[in-house]
A and B are shown apart, each in its own frame.
Chain A
Amino acid sequence: ILNVEQSPQSLHVQEGDSTNFTCSFPSSNFYALHWYRWETAKSPEALFVMTLNGDEKKKGRISATLNTKEGYSYLYIKGSQPEDSATYLCAFHPTPMTTDSWGKLQFGAGTQVVVTP
């Protein structure tokens, strides 16, 4: 059973501070790594999908890096704002072993970020 781990489980950030957190995944059989943002009482929304080692993606103040050889991805939030408060999920897509395994993601438990004014 593959294991996707996220750390820390939660973190509190002062408004204006920058922060980052980690997603660890198996380094073998890599196909893609997804990041989702999940606000309270809403549904998860995709932030980034990364497929290549060394990928860096950016959306506004949020960015992500990917190291497939060592099996980790970092998500960075620069100058955190209260609206960045959410749970950030990563999801690993291994190279499928069967045709019906395409599209099947393995989610981490998430990092809950609370930004206080």
Chain B
Amino acid sequence: NAGVTQTPKFRVLKTGQSMTLLCAQDMNHEYMYWYRQDPGMGLRLIHYSVGEGTTAKGEVPDGYNVSRLKKQNFLLGLESAAPSQTSVYFCASSSARTRSAYEQYFGPGTRLTVT
């Protein structure tokens, strides 16, 4: 099992450019999440999905869009990147079918710099 993988690992964008971050999990988890991590802020939830074809806004959704067309994939899009979106992005997944009360499994992170 690869667990949760993220593509790419690093990216540098110019202001106004767009990009898509891909998250994939092979654990058949129903729930998937996108977080951003900034110094002193901990993990903040951007968007999440409770199942294929469904998405919902988290704490800091502005400037981002997501899609969950397949159960194993969760895409995070930046339509017009801004320097404020410079951050480390983590994807995570969890399942309701275990006794682990939605324990989350995290990907390795994507470091994004917007200049």
Residue numbers of A with Cβ under 8 A of B are: 31-32, 34, 36, 42-46, 49, 51, 89, 91, 93, 99-100, 102-105, 107-110
Give chain A nearest CB distance to B21 CB in angstroms.
14
Given known contacts A108-B42, A110-B42, A103 and B108 CB-to-CB distance under 8 angstroms: no
Interface residues of B in 19-47 (CB under 8 A from A): 30-31, 33, 40-45
Contact A109–B50 (Cβ < 8 Å): no
Given known contacts A49-B100, A49-B101, A93-B101, A100 and B54 CB-to-CB distance under 8 angstroms: yes
Instruction: Tell me which residues across on chain B come within 8 A of A89, comparing CB atoms.
Output: 42-43
Give chain B nearest CB distance to A102 CB in angstroms.
6
Contact A103–B54 (Cβ < 8 Å): no
Give chain A nearest CB distance to B49 CB in angstroms.
9
Bound complex: CA of A40 vs CA of B9, how far in Å?
A: 15
Contact A44–B48 (Cβ < 8 Å): no
Beta-carbon nearest neighbor of B90 in chain A: A43
Contact B42–A34 (Cβ < 8 Å): no
Contact A43–B43 (Cβ < 8 Å): no
Contact A43–B108 (Cβ < 8 Å): yes
Instruction: Tell me which residues across on chain A come within 8 A of B42, comparing CB atoms.
Output: 89, 107-110
Bound complex: CA of A21 vs CA of B76, how far in Å?
A: 34
In the complex, 21 of the A-B residue pairs with CB atoms within 8 angstroms, ordered by the A residue number, are A31-B101, A34-B104, A42-B108, A43-B109, A46-B105, A93-B101, A93-B102, A99-B50, A100-B50, A100-B54, A100-B56, A102-B96, A102-B102, A103-B48, A104-B58, A105-B45, A105-B104, A107-B43, A107-B44, A109-B40, A109-B42
